[in-house]
């Protein structure tokens, strides 16, 4: 009803009257009295502000109308901030979308750990305190040939811990061509500085030789650090020492040879039709003492930092007080263990781990998905849906040179600009995220599963209706 012009504020119902209504009772049952009371007070405060500013404003101040608006607000506030997104960008390891989706086995293990008490730090055989890492460390050694292993919450943390434990107080020697930015303005020099070690740069951007490392070694040198350029490449007139050369120099000088492998490949990717990427096993076999990498990139597991290498060095990392601040929780450990177990059979891993399955999906399968999506959208009035050839990328700082052939559906309608169509799909449930090029929305099928094709089509129909 319209507020009377003389006394507009009197038309607003009392808080207690609203809370005693039938509609409020259902809200209290769903969200709790405290939250509903707070929402009522905020809403009435907003209405008072409007009426003081504009006494003639027409507001529906009936309890039913107010509580209906509150129900919508409370539902929006209760919705989780993190929600499902269908990734139609073609970028497999999309950092903004959470990087690697987990294998079904990893999802089940994380859910099991989340819902129950677990023997996280309890040895069921002896009844004594145990190690939270026991389920994954043996697997990591088995899969990589490492003497020992350790896991922390991401690869930057792995590098930070290793430097803090092994290079402080002292120096870490790094090639200028390997002082990378990991992402989000997080850079290797800053990680080294945060650890307390001192950075010694050697060589040039495009060429660093073993002699450059040798001349930089002094009484305070502790680590020769190699950083794999997992998210960029320097091509042309370049030079860099082999891992074996760096490892030999470190051994002769009583130093630690360490490599940050970043993208974290555990298997040879070439049988999957992908470019060669150095594996952890290859780095350790070349004589590198300590290797770190990510768990949620090419490995295809949860966010984690893996540290592998000589047992004596790993023992020093385990004894460092920083480890407690970087440790993994039970859900992540469960998911990581389940993912690693799949790698016992590389063929099984290639099919079960979503990242590997998407990267190696044959064009014939992508063509079928694209044609299926195009067919479902063909009947929309004024909408043009066209299957096109294109190239995609792994993303997430992995395989930077690999332009991977893909298939996509390009959408165009004169009724909506591509930006507005994209926005509407982002706000749909589930959200659908594609990319825009030349005024058209592109939906890349490499990162859309067979089951999701129908959901993408339904979302497009809904936002274009």
Continuous segment of H or E residues that includes residue 15 = helix 15-19
Of residues 284 and 55, which shows the higher confidence score? 284
Say what percent of the chain tops pLDDT 90. 70
The structure tokens listed for 436 are 């825009």
Buried b or exposed e, range 443-457, using 16+ CB within 10 angstroms: bbbbbbbeebbebbb
Query: Could you tell me how many residues make up the chain?
Result: 465
The CB density around residue 159, as the number of other CB atoms within 10 Å, is: 27
DSSP string, 225-258: EEE--TT----SS-B---HHHHHHHHHHTT-EEE
Closest by Cα among 384, 387, 390 to 369: 387
With beta carbons less than 8 A apart as the criterion, state whether 23 and 64 touch. yes
pLDDT in tens, 169-228: 999 999 998 888 766 657 889 999 999 999 999 998 889 999 999 999 999 999 999 998
Q: Work out the pLDDT band at 2, boundaries 50, 70, 90.
A: very low
**Alpha carbon of 439 to those of 88, 408, 413: distances in Å?**
17, 15, 10
pLDDT in tens, 117-151: 999 999 999 999 999 998 899 999 999 999 999 99
pLDDT of residue 20: 86
Mapped onto helix, strand or coil, the DSSP state of residue 405 is strand
Name the architecture of domain 85-93+359-464. Alpha-Beta Complex (3.90)
Topology adopted by domain 104-352: 3.40.640
HSE of 285, CA atoms in CB hemisphere, 13 A: 8
Give the integer Cα–Cα distance in Å for 200 and 196: 13
Mapped onto helix, strand or coil, the DSSP state of residue 408 is strand
Bridge partner list, 304: none
- Give me the residue spans of the domains in the chain: 8-77, 85-93+359-464, 104-352
pLDDT of residue 262: 86
Helices (H), 93-220: 104-115, 134-144, 155-166, 188-195, 210-216
Give the integer Cα–Cα distance in Å for 36 and 75: 11
CA-based angle 232:233:235, to the nearest 5? 155
**pTM of the predicted model as reported, rounded to 2 decimal places:** 0.88
What is the rounded average pLDDT for all residues in the chain? Answer: 91
pLDDT of 264 above 90: no
pLDDT of 314 above 60: yes
Give the integer Cα–Cα distance in Å for 40 and 69: 10
Give the integer Cα–Cα distance in Å for 293 and 280: 8
Contacts of residue 63, defined as CB under 8 A and 6 or more positions apart, other chains included, come to: 13, 17, 18, 21, 23
């Amino acid at each position: 009803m319209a507020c009377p012009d003389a006394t507009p504020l009197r038309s607003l119902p009392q808080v207690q009257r609203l809370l005693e209504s039938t509609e409020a009772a259902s809200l209290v049952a769903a969200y709790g009295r405290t939250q509903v009371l707070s929402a009522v007070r905020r809403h009435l405060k907003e209405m008072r502000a409007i009426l003081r500013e504009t006494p003639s404003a027409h507001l529906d101040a009936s309890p039913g109308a107010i509580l209906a608006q509150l129900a919508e607000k409370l539902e929006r506030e209760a919705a989780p901030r993190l929600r499902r997104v269908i990734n139609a960008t073609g970028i497999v390891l999309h950092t903004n979308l959470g990087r690697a989706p987990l294998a079904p086995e990893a999802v089940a293990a994380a859910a099991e750990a989340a819902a129950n008490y677990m023997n996280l730090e309890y040895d069921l055989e002896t009844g004594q305190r145990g190690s939270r890492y026991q389920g994954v460390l043996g697997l990591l050694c088995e899969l990589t040939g490492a003497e020992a292993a350790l896991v922390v919450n991401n690869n930057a943390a792995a590098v930070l811990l290793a430097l803090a434990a092994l290079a402080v107080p002292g120096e870490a020697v790094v090639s200028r061509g390997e002082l990378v930015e990991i992402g989000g303005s997080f850079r290797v020099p800053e990680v080294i500085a945060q650890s307390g070690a001192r950075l010694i740069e050697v060589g040039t951007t495009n060429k660093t030789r073993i002699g450059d490392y040798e001349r930089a070694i002094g009484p305070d040198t502790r680590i020769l650090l190699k950083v794999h350029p997992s998210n960029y490449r320097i091509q042309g007139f370049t030079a860099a020492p082999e891992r074996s050369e760096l490892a030999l120099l470190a051994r002769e000088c009583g130093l630690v040879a360490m490599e940050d492998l970043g993208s974290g490949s555990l298997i040879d990717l070439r049988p999957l039709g992908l470019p060669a990427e150095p594996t952890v096993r290859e780095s350790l076999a070349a004589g590198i003492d300590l290797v770190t990498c990510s768990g949620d990139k090419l490995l295809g597991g949860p966010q984690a930092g893996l540290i592998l290498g000589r047992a004596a060095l790993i023992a020093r990392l385990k004894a460092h007080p920083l480890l407690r601040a970087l440790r993994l929780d039970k859900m992540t450990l469960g998911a990581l263990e389940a993912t690693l177990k799949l790698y016992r059979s590389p063929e099984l891993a290639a099919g079960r781990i979503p990242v590997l399955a998407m990267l190696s999906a044959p064009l014939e399968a992508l063509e079928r998905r694209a044609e299926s999506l195009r067919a479902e959208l063909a009947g929309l009035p004024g909408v043009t849906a066209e299957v096109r050839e294109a190239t995609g990328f792994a993303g997430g700082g992995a395989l930077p040179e690999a332009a991977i052939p893909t298939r996509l559906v390009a959408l165009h309608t004169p009724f909506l600009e591509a930006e507005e169509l994209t926005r509407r799909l982002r706000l749909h449930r589930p959200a659908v995220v594609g990319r825009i090029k030349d005024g058209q929305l592109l939906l890349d099928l490499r990162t859309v599963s067979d089951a999701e094709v129908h959901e993408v089509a339904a979302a497009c129909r809904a936002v274009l209706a």
